Amino acid sequence: MLAHWLSAIWYLNFSATVVLILHLIRTGLYRRYGCLFAFLSADAVQSTLGLLFIAHARVYAWTYVAGQALKAVLEVFVALELIRVALHERPALARFASAKAGYVLAGAALLAAAFVRLDISDPAGRPVILNALNSIERTMDVCLLLLLAVTVWRLFYGFRPGYRATEPSISPVSPFISWYGRPDYC
């Protein structure tokens, strides 16, 4: 019974991703949210290839590993893009925040790579590369969650006394806080 629900949720997620991609194209927002568009497209392509090669274990595994690695890199660029969009009212602050967030995320990537060697959870029969990829993914997702949470906090409480962001400035970042805060991501 649970397998049917998981399958239904997977198809709903895939359908929502395709609808969002088509909406970004139709409205022309793919130009403004290029990294988000690339991330969603990579997710849709990975899901489609996964469906096509599900019977071929080796091809499916490499499709999964390559897709997850690409999406992990794109997640960083999506976060930087969201910071830039959220701070569009203050271009100098947006450039500064994006640059500093880039340095923080580069350090997080190095930290994630170091944690691969320290990760003691090694389920029997599971490929080493998959375990390493999941370890890096978990570390980067927690760092992205913290970075986006700090960004939203700074938008609510301002960068200097008296500055408060408007409601539309908060909206591009908030859904990603809930996405990276999911229990299966942390």
Q: How many domains does the chain have?
A: 1
pLDDT the model gives residue 27? 93
pLDDT bracket for residue 85 (50, 70, 90): confident
Residue 86 has pLDDT above 90, yes or no: no
Which of 99-113, 132-146, 157-171 is least confident?
157-171
For 106, residues 6+ apart whose C-beta sits below 8 A from its C-beta are none
pLDDT the model gives residue 44? 93
% of the chain beyond a pLDDT of 90: 15
Pair 159, 93: CB distance under 8 Å: yes
- Residue 24 falls inside a structural domain: yes
Residue 56: CA atoms inside 13 Å, Cβ hemisphere, count? 11
Cα–Cα distance list, 81 to 99, 129, 144, 159 (Å): 11, 29, 12, 19
Residue 185 has pLDDT above 50, yes or no: no
- Residue 121 falls inside a structural domain: yes
The overall average pLDDT reported for the chain is 78
Which of 12-21, 56-65, 165-174 is least confident?
165-174
CA dist., res. 76 & res. 101, Å (int): 9
Q: Which domain holds residue 155?
A: 2-180
- Residue 186 falls inside a structural domain: no
pLDDT single digits (tens) 143-163? 888 887 777 777 666 555 455
pLDDT the model gives residue 160? 52
pLDDT single digits (tens) 37-80? 999 999 999 999 988 888 888 888 888 888 888 988 898 888 88
User: What's the mean pLDDT in 90-95?
Assistant: 80
CA geometry: angle at 106 spanning 115 and 79, to 5°? 110
- Residue 185 falls inside a structural domain: no
Of the two residues 36 and 127, the one the predictor is more confident about is: 36
